[in-house]
Amino acid sequence: MITAELTETETHCTEGRDIIRLPFGLLGFEHVKQYILLANPAEEPFLWLQMLDDAKRAFLVVPPERLLADYQPDISDDEVEFLGLADPADAFLLNIVTLRGNGQATVNLKGPVVINRRTLIGKQVIPNNAAQYSLRHPLAAS
Amino acid sequence: MLILSRKAGESIVIDGRIVVKILRLEGELVKVGIEAAREVPVHRQEVYDEIQRNNREALTENHPQLPHFPGKPAAPAPAKRQPVKETVS
DSSP string for residues in A83-134:
HT-SSGGGEEEEEEEEEEETTEEEE--SS-EEEETTT-BEEE---TTGGGS-
Angstroms from B31 CA to nearest CA on chain A: 16
The per-residue pLDDT for range A78-89, each reduced to its tens digit, is 899 999 999 989
Q: Is A34 part of a structural domain of the chain?
A: yes
Neighbours of B24 (CB within 10 A): 11
Chain A residue numbers with beta carbons less than 8 Å from the beta carbon of B36 are none
Q: Is A109 part of a structural domain of the chain?
A: yes
pTM of structure: 0.80
Contact A16/B38, CB-based, under 8 Å? no
Q: Is A81 part of a structural domain of the chain?
A: yes
CATH number at residue A92: 2.30.290.10
Nearest to B19 by CA among B36, B3, B32: B36
Cβ pair B50, A28 in contact under 8 A: no
Contact B87/A5, CB-based, under 8 Å? yes
Contact B84/A38, CB-based, under 8 Å? yes
Of B51, B68, B70, the CB nearest to A135: B51
pLDDT confidence bin for A15, thresholds 50/70/90: very low
Cβ pair B73, A44 in contact under 8 A: no
For residue A140, pLDDT beyond 70: no
pLDDT value, residue A141: 58
pLDDT, one tens digit for every residue, chain B (89 residues) = 999 999 999 999 999 999 999 999 999 999 999 999 877 888 889 999 999 999 999 999 998 988 877 654 444 445 667 777 654 44
Q: Is A15 part of a structural domain of the chain?
A: no
pLDDT value, residue B11: 97
- Which residues of chain B form beta strands (DSSP E)? 11-14, 18-26, 29-35, 60-61, 82-83, 86-88
Please tell me the total count of domains within chain A.
1
Sequence-distant (6+) residues with CB within 8 A of B81 are: A38, A39, A40, A43, A48, B63
Of A58, A124, A130, the CB nearest to B63: A58
